[in-house]
Structure 1
Amino acid sequence: MNPFTLVQPETLEEAIAALATDDASVRPIAGGTALMLMMKSKLFVPEKLVSLHRLPANLRKIYIDESGELHIGALVTLRSMELSPVVSAFDPVISDALRTLSNVRVRNVATVGGHLAHGDPHMDLPPILMALNAKVVIGSKAGSRTLPLMEFLLGYYTTALQPGELITEVIVPARPREMSGAYLKYTALSADDWPMANVVSYLQTNEDTIAEARIAVSAATEKPIRLYDVETFLKNQKLSAEVFADAAELAVSNLRPLADIRGSSGYKREIVRVCVRRSLERIPSSSMSDHGGFTHE
């Protein structure tokens, strides 16, 4: 690994100023779980890194505001999210999914800001946060701007972050109490590997009828995507295995998965189909109890 300069600002304003440069090799570093691997393999050779470790404690806070929205500071570690009673009370699907995200050594240092800023489509949290209509707050010299996660994640390892910008917070709107979800992922290599495909489904039901559906897919695709056509199909449908099977077929009808070392495009399409159906099947029983569901395949 080549030598580099480490800048350690103590305020957000100082960090943003250090990052406001035309030099594309200047990057922020928090947990560094992805960045350090890229540096060790010489895929990325920076001359200067801007450490975020000394930034104020408010960037490490998790809380629910008076309107019921969940706020997660950008420097909150994934392990802190996993163990947070605030996150668990807000949506147990998030907490349960985090327990099998990579391994505990990674979760102890990786931050939610870095998790999203990296733009890796294989990450576990983005599809869940996308289904929950999460927003990303971005700070810069000009102030702050807020983007829906859907607009922040632009493509394969590509985000809307510009030079001199940092994620400062993730905000998740309150979801209906009657809505429950299930997250399901499939890993093709090791149990703690990034998933080959992951699917999250949420249903709000009125007795045996679906009032609202939210479904997001990632890992098999170049970025996390919402399946709006499937959500529309499910609305006002009766809860049944047949409806879930039809929804799964619709989910993959226009899907074009990316082939890689974890599987071919055709294989991933089949895995997504199965994951959509199974995630939906897991919701009705959990919705009776106000708890989410999680399955690791």
Structure 2
Amino acid sequence: MAPFEFVVPTTLPEAIALLDPDDPGVRPVGGATAVMLMMKAGVLQLTRMVSLRRLEAAHSEVSVGADGQLQIGGFATLSSLEHSPVVQEGWPVLTRTFKTLSNIRVRNVATLGGNLAHGDPHMDMPPVLSALNASVVLTGPAGERTVKVEDLYTGYYETVVKRDELITRIVVPPQGRQHAAYMKVTTRAAHDWPALGVAVVLDMAGDSVNGASLIVGAATDRPTRLTDAEAMLRGEALTDELLRAAGDSAARQLDIVGDAHGSAAYKKQLLRVYLGRAIRKAIAASDSKEHA
């Protein structure tokens, strides 16, 4: 690796001031797990790395606001969120998902803000948070602005985050009685990069689907909403026939591109099968909690 400047600010304004909107070689990092791999592979060269590990503790806190929304500091580690009683109680789908991310060594240092800002379409959290209708707060020299997680991504490794902005907060609406699940399919270890990820959030009215939020990851260049399948489920009771039809519809909707984790045909077949499984898992997860 070529030499680069390494700086460790202790306040948020100081960190933002160290960023450079005109220099793509200046990068902020939380745990630096993904950035270091890219640098070692020679696909990323930095002039300055701005470490966010020593910023004020307030930017890593987790709380519930007066409106019932989950407020997560952008620099909270994945491990701290995995073990957070607040998250476990109100957003169990997030707790279950955090346990499947990479390995514990990575989760101990990687931050949620960094995970979202990285822009890799194989990341697990963007589909889940998109399905939950979560937003991020971006902070830069001009102040704060809020963006839906679903609208954060514009392409492969491309986001709307400006070079002099940081994800300082993630806001998640109450999960409440919604049924939610995330399923990932990997070709190696269970915590590895997914060949396909499916996030499901269902609002049920008895046995019928009142509303569905279905997001797929790792199959396209960004997390993608399965609008056709959502419309197919709305107002209907969940039957095996309907779920098969929804899976077929989802596979037809997407322009899936193959990669090292699986061919396009393989991923299409995974989506046909796993959309229904994820929906069934969401229902089962909520039922088990209600009867615990």
TM-score norm. by structure 1 comes to 0.94
For 1:242, give the aligned amino acid.
E
Farther-moved stretch of structure 1 (134-143 vs 233-242)? 233-242
User: How many residue pairs align between the two structures?
Assistant: 290
Deviations 1:102-159 (A, max 9, x none): 1111101100011011001111111000001110100011101000112111111100
1:191-230: CA deviation from partner (whole Å, max 9, x where unpaired): 3320000101122212211111111100111111111221
| Ranges in structure 1 where 5+ consecutive residues have no aligned partner | 292-297
Structure 1 residues 9 and 287, CA, compared in 2 at 3 Å: closer, same or farther?
closer
Distance 1:288 1:189, change over 3 A: closer
Q: What is aligned with 1:225?
A: 224
Retained in 2: the 8 A contact 1:20–1:165?
no
CA apart distance, 1:290: 4.3
Classify 1:20/1:45 alpha carbon distance in 2 versus 1 (closer, same or farther; 3 Å): closer
Partner of 1:178: 177
Paired with 2:13 and 2:109, the residues of 1 have a C-alpha distance of 23
**Is the 8 Å Cα contact of residues 189 and 262 (structure 1) preserved in structure 2?**
no
Q: Secondary structure in 1 aligned to 2:238?
A: coil
TM-score, with length taken from structure 2: 0.95
Distance 1:17 1:226 in 2: 36
Residues 64 and 71, structure 1, Cα contact 8 Å, conserved in 2: yes
Gaps of 5+ in 2: none
1:127 counterpart SS class: helix
Give the partner amino acid of 1:188.
T
Asked if the contact 2:228–2:253 (Cα under 8 Å) also holds between the matched residues in 1, the reply is no
Aligned to 1:274: 273
What secondary structure does 1:34 align onto? helix
Cα contact 1:188–1:196 (8 A) shared by 2: yes
Q: Between 37-46 and 93-102, report the one with greater CA deviation.
A: 37-46
Distance 2:28 2:16 in 1: 9
Instruction: Map 1:9-24 onto structure 2 (within 5 A).
Output: 9-24=9-24
SS in structure 2 opposite 1:233? helix
Q: Secondary structure at the match of 1:288?
A: helix
Q: Percent identity?
A: 44
Deviations 1:47-71, CA, capped at 9 Å, x for gaps: 2111112211111001110101011
Aligned to 1:239: 238
Looking at structure 1, the residues matched to 238 and 44 of structure 2 have their Cα atoms a distance apart, in angstroms, of 49
Please say if 1:114 is aligned against 2:114.
yes
Q: Distance in 2 between matches of 1:224 and 1:205?
A: 24
1:253 matches 2:252: yes
Rounded Cα–Cα distance in structure 1 between residues aligned with 2:192 and 2:285: 27
Confirm or deny: 8 A CA contact 1:19 1:163 kept in the other structure. Answer: yes
Matched with 1:47 is: 47
Task: Answer whether contact 1:154 1:223 (CA < 8 A) is retained.
Answer: yes
Separation of aligned partners in 2, 1:69 and 1:188: 35
Q: CA RMSD in A?
A: 1.4
Do the aligned residues in 2 keep the contact of 1:216 with 1:224 (CA within 8 Å)? yes
Do the aligned partners of 1:209 and 1:236 also contact (CA within 8 Å) in 2? yes
The 8 Å contact of residues 256 and 269 in structure 1, kept in 2 or not, is answered as no
